[in-house]
Amino acid sequence: MGLVTAGSCLFAGLGAIPFDGRTDPTRVAAQIVTGIGFLGAGAILRQGVDIKGLTTAASIWTAAAIGMAVGFGYYVTAIASTALVLLTVFGLGWVEARFFPAKRDRRQNDPHTEAPAT
């Protein structure tokens, strides 16, 4: 995630520098969003009826957005967004473990899977 954030920051920072006076930084930002969306789509996998990687894809996309905020000079927004993302990811992980414990061990109780060989 750090590389995605650093790369987005670099692209946004360079896009904000007017090389010839006609540079539009929003065009650079739009291309970052498109490219990171493509990477995030590659992180989503379907395994039978389960879908894996949604949190990873959202984290990649959010890391890019935080990097763009830093690149454009919105440091307070980037820090607040980082705190909110960390609170959401770790906080909801705790809520899921606390209130939905059966969701984590679904495969162990699935009658359609074989017991692991010992």
Asked if pLDDT for residue 10 goes beyond 70, the answer is: yes
Range of the domain at 37: 2-108
Assigned domain for 63 exists: yes
User: What torsion, rounded to 10 degrees, do the Cα atoms 110, 111, 116, 117 define?
Assistant: 180
Assigned domain for 102 exists: yes
Total domain count, the chain = 1
Assigned domain for 114 exists: no
DSSP, residue by residue, 21-76: S---HHHHHHHHHHHHHHHHHHH-EEETTEEE-HHHHHHHHHHHHHHHHHHTT-HH
Range 76-86 average pLDDT: 89
Rg (CA), the chain: 19
Assigned domain for 79 exists: yes
User: pLDDT tens digits for 55-75?
Assistant: 888 888 888 888 888 888 889
Please return the burial class of 76, using the count of CB atoms within 10 Å of its CB with bins 0-12, 13-18 and 19+.
Answer: exposed
Q: Evaluate if pTM is beyond 0.75.
A: no
In the 8-state DSSP scheme, what is residue 118? -
Assigned domain for 115 exists: no
Reduced to 3 states, what is the DSSP secondary structure of residue 115?
A: coil
What pLDDT, on the 0 to 100 scale, is given for residue 52?
82
Out of 37-41, 66-70, 109-113, give the one with best mean pLDDT. 66-70
Asked if pLDDT for residue 4 goes beyond 80, the answer is: no
Contacts of residue 32, Cβ cutoff 8 Å, sequence gap at least 6: 8, 11, 12, 64, 68
Pick 66 or 47 by higher pLDDT.
Answer: 66
